[in-house]
Amino acid sequence: MRGLKAAVTDTVAEHVWVQITFESPSGDRRSGCTGESTATARVRLPQPLGARDLIVDNDTTFTADGARPPALRRCGRLGCHPPATGCTTASYEQALIAVDAPEHAYRDAEHCDGRWLVLDFSWRTGPACGDDTKDSACTSRLGDRYFFRAERSGWQPVFESAAGGCEAVQRREPAFPTALCAGLAPLSSAQHPSYPPPSAADSSSPTATAR
């Protein structure tokens, strides 16, 4: 690696952008440069960082909030100040991230008491058709249902199931409250298909999974 350097590329009221550049032949395996090592690049800001966030290479953010000076705290996928765990829209979005839901998933139903959460969500499949609702290929969807427990770091998934009621989730997590799962209907086989092994299947039609 050669020419490692860091430079300030922009500053605004709330952020400072820094770009790190270097030269490396590591992309060419024939060069023999196949190892990895840690290196340090120094940069001097035009003025103290203060309460602003530091953004490195446009995709990694650091903040002084919650860190012990002079260190900075690296922010996660939920930003530098994640939403408090609870029955809120922002917190439900965190739950979707926790289960790696598709990027354009829709929340279909939430059942929450602040400590436990059931979240049904679905996503479009097939071609991008805009507002076309006549072609079945444009309205096809898949979906899933997850059960969560509140932790300090956010909603943590404890179980996934398309089954209705409480039997499946309480078999895995006995403490899950009946009030949140008793009225759950099973997800439809069209939305949550299951394809059993050919030797165990009586037909080729998908069925809803009841775990």
Please tell me the predicted confidence (pLDDT) of residue 10: 93
Q: Is 94 helix (H, G, I), strand (E, B) or coil?
A: helix
Checking if the pLDDT of 19 tops 90, the result is yes
Q: Kindly list the domain boundaries of the chain, sorted by start residue.
A: 2-74, 89-208
Question: Could you tell me which residues are beta bridge partners of residue 56?
Answer: 18, 60
Q: How confident is the model at residue 3 (pLDDT cuts 50, 70, 90)?
A: confident
pLDDT at 20 over 50: yes
Helix (H) or strand (E) holding 23: strand 15-23
Q: What is the rounded average pLDDT of the residues 22-26?
A: 75
Amino acid at 80: C
Query: Which tens digit of pLDDT belongs to each residue from 122-161?
Result: 988 866 666 655 666 666 778 899 999 999 888 999 999 9
Over residues 75-130, the pLDDT tens digits come to 887 788 887 899 999 899 999 999 999 888 989 999 999 999 999 999 888 666 66
Q: In DSSP terms, which residues pair with 7 in a beta bridge? A: 19
Mean pLDDT of the chain: 84
Bridge partners of 76, per DSSP, are: 79
